[in-house]
Amino acid sequence: MIICTRDCYDGCIFDSGYSPARSAPTLGFTCSRGRSDLPRNGVNRVESALVDGKEVDVAEAIRRAARAMRAEVDRDPGGILHLNYDGNQGLLTWYYPARLFTAMGASRTDYSICSAEGHAAIGAHYGTSAGALPEEFPGYGAVVLWAFPASVSAPHIWRSISRAEKVSIDVRISDTSRRSRRAIVVRPGSDVFLAMGVIRALLEEGLATGEVSHVRELEEFVMAHTMEELSSAAGVREDEVRWLARFYAEERPLTLIGFALGRSPNGGDAISLISLIPALVGLRRGFYYSNSMGLGIDFNYLRGYHMGGGSRVVGMAHLREELESGRIRLVYAWNMNPVVTMPGGPSILEAVEEGRISLIAHDPFLSETARAADIVLPAPTFLEKEDVGYSYWHDYLVFNEPVAPPRGVPEPDAVRAIAREAGISHPLLEEDPWRAVEVAIRGTGVTLDELRSRGAVRVRNYPPPSPRDGELLLVFTSHPLYTNTQFREVHGRPEPIVHTHDVDGEVVLETDLGSARVIAVADPGTPPGVAWMYKSALVDLDGRSINGLLGGVAGPYAGTPVLNGVAVRLRRSGRRGRGEGEPRRPGDPPEGS
Ligand SMILES: Nc1nc2c(c(=O)[nH]1)N[C@H]1C(S)=C(S)[C@@H](COP(=O)(O)OP(=O)(O)OC[C@H]3O[C@@H](n4cnc5c(=O)[nH]c(N)nc54)[C@H](O)[C@@H]3O)O[C@H]1N2
Ligand SMILES: Nc1nc2c(c(=O)[nH]1)N[C@H]1C(S)=C(S)[C@@H](COP(=O)(O)OP(=O)(O)OC[C@H]3O[C@@H](n4cnc5c(=O)[nH]c(N)nc54)[C@H](O)[C@@H]3O)O[C@H]1N2
Ligand SMILES: [Mo]
């Protein structure tokens, strides 16, 4: 199989004949870019290694690169900066090569250019930025596309929401806006005020039915400004802000949060607040931003950060200052065209022209960066090499197989050869790249062997939504007198008691799958946020099994149903239970019915 490994939501999967896979998420079609890869594969390629513009063999270019890097390592490894981003999202192409620089103690960037701001802003609330999965998208009758022109930037996402009522929020009328039921136009960088206005209206109008922690602080924060102030700061009429709040309350839409927001003024704050709106209207994981952090891939392991993080982190916003300071003396770029795509990118050209830095580039194509480089190494495209690819939307890992003859030198081979020539030996580079991939994907529940044989496999450990305030993680344990449902003939039917940290009385436990009426008993040995029951006391006060609340989630090894640690909501039913006034002690034998 093949996965289009470029930086894009859809991560199109192709069969071995290079036709778009018919099954979800690719649905048998690809975009213009996906169709253009084969025709462009022969155009503008780096045909051979280059040193000072002259063709040399790859071995010679590697020796020259190694010599230049060795000299800098001896002087100050922090003077070497590696620049790489997402030209190809393969684990071997993008991530593994960073090990050379981790091993040398070189400077690195913070990889902040595209999506980092939002990952951090959402993660601060939810513990992870991972949101709804593609299969959940079609289930939504309504979708808010917040700075997310999906009709262009993510055609498969767009297809998956084709039947939904759409609201687009952008700073202009985009193609997506034109094809949405309603287009809201905000002033650039002012979405944070629109989000505050929506939250304010939801709270004011009693439409916030969901539970969000620290809601009082949130309320104080948004109430500090009048609706008029918020609406004029956002450049959106007050009635439109209120309309959007009611749309949220009534339609309970999925919110797609675009990366571009994170690259705007106040963008992190905007994303942070936008991500809370679905929770305020009672949706669990009712947003999507990027799911890459939920797949269980250990990107840090691939880059070798478990053995140190390099010497210094250069913020991607500050490349120009860094180059002008003279501290950086060698730049190694792969999988990125920083001369064009980095803010301050042209300062790389100036630094090369003025002899302040040496520039080494590894790219399949003669990019602006490759054209300016002192040393250029030819790279294979994703059509020409094996790799493992992933998407930040869907949850398939794909073993990428070449469909065209190999060209150039694969990235892991290049960095290991440079290390050998430069006399840098380090366990990070001794570990075989495929072995590193095998270790890095352990957390996904998918093995490399399985990937090789099946081509595309869904990750098995996508994170369950984390518990919210008012939710308990329910677990079960054995009872001394019973085996599961047996021995009720002798000891009677055990009461459905749920042991909690501090709740007594009759309560209702709920999940999205069902509810059960049970008796809560406070037990100081049960921590806050946790609840437990005997697995022989599953029949609730209405004679139904607690297992009506569970199911649908399986373990990665053998498919064992997840029964423990499932989040349940606990609601007092109003009636007081039998335990009132004389709380039962945990471990008390149950009473017969
Ligand atoms: N065809 C195609 N698809 C792509 C890419 C590509 O280059 N071509 N690039 C891929 C990559 S790298 C990424 S990161 C994603 C990005 O994909 P998206 O996050 O979906 O966004 P962009 O396509 O960058 O478009 C940004 C949108 O945000 C709007 N915008 C700008 N500032 C603001 C603001 O302050 N508030 C609001 N509300 N809107 C604002 C712009 O008008 C624009 O419509 O797309 C990926 N998909
Ligand atoms: N002003 C402004 N600047 C922006 C943005 C913006 O919206 N406005 N968007 C930003 C965003 S969202 C992003 S993600 C970045 C993207 O920045 P880049 O990652 O630099 O973007 P690409 O043009 O995709 O460049 C990737 C390079 O990788 C090369 N490449 C492709 N496949 C391979 C491979 O298999 N191996 C190797 N070694 N190289 C390969 C390509 O030939 C290309 O030269 O740009 C950012 N820059
Ligand atoms: Mo991006």
59-77 pLDDT per residue, tens: 999 999 999 999 999 999 9
CA of 177 to the centre of ligand 1 (A): 13
pLDDT at position 364 is 98
Which percentage of the chain shows pLDDT scores above 90? 86
Strand, helix or coil for residue 377? strand
Instruction: Say if residue 139's pLDDT is above 70.
Output: yes
Instruction: Say if residue 148's pLDDT is above 70.
Output: yes
Instruction: Say if residue 516's pLDDT is above 80.
Output: yes
Instruction: Dump pLDDT digits (tens) for 443-485.
Output: 999 999 999 999 999 998 787 665 666 789 999 999 999 999 9
pLDDT at position 54 is 98
- The Cα-based distances of 338 to 62, 85, 106, 345 in angstroms read 21, 9, 18, 6
Question: In ligand 2, which atom is closest to the CA atom of 84?
Answer: 19
Residue list, ligand 1 pocket, CB within 6 Å: 7-9, 114, 147-149, 152-153, 169-172, 174, 186, 188-189, 191, 258-261, 264
pLDDT at position 529 is 86
Of 237, 231, 247, 16, residue with least CA distance to 144:
247
Residue 93 CB less than 6 A away from ligand 2: yes
Of 245, 502, 310, 295, residue with least CA distance to 396:
295
With vertex at residue 529, the alpha carbon angle to CA 523 and CA 532, rounded to the nearest 5 degrees, is 50
Q: Give the model's confidence band at 585: pLDDT under 50 very low, under 70 low, under 90 confident, else very high.
A: very low
Closest listed ligand to the CA of 84: 2
CA of 31 to the centre of ligand 2 (A): 18
d(CA 167, CA 169): 7
Beta strands in 218-258 (DSSP E): 254-257
Instruction: Say if residue 580's pLDDT is above 60.
Output: no
Instruction: Say if residue 579's pLDDT is above 50.
Output: no
Residue 367 CB less than 6 A away from ligand 2: yes
Q: Give the model's confidence band at 89: pLDDT under 50 very low, under 70 low, under 90 confident, else very high.
A: very high
Instruction: Say if residue 586's pLDDT is above 70.
Output: no
CA of 446 to the centre of ligand 2 (A): 29
Closest listed ligand to the CA of 4: 2
pLDDT at position 528 is 83
Instruction: Say if residue 356's pLDDT is above 60.
Output: yes
d(CA 303, CA 300): 5
pLDDT at position 469 is 63
The residue nearest atom 4 of ligand 1, judged by CA position, is 153
d(CA 176, CA 144): 11
The residue nearest atom 46 of ligand 1, judged by CA position, is 8
Residue 37 CB less than 6 A away from ligand 2: no
d(CA 284, CA 300): 29
CA of 116 to the centre of ligand 3 (A): 10
Q: What pTM did the predictor assign?
A: 0.84
* Other C-beta atoms lying within 10 Å of the C-beta of residue 440: 22
The residue nearest atom 34 of ligand 1, judged by CA position, is 188
The residue nearest atom 35 of ligand 2, judged by CA position, is 381
Query: How much of the chain is helix, strand and coil, in % rounded to 5?
Result: 35, 20, 45
Using only the alpha carbons of the chain, give its radius of gyration. 28
* Other C-beta atoms lying within 10 Å of the C-beta of residue 303: 25
- Among the ranges given (268-272, 310-314, 361-365), the one the predictor scored with the smallest mean pLDDT: 310-314
Residue 363 CB less than 6 A away from ligand 2: yes
Residue 164 CB less than 6 A away from ligand 2: no
Determine the average pLDDT of the residues in 502-516: 92
Q: Give the model's confidence band at 575: pLDDT under 50 very low, under 70 low, under 90 confident, else very high.
A: low
- Domains of the chain listed by start with CATH number: 47-113+296-389+405-446 (3.40.50.740), 116-289 (3.40.228.10), 471-572 (2.40.40.20)
pLDDT at position 592 is 35
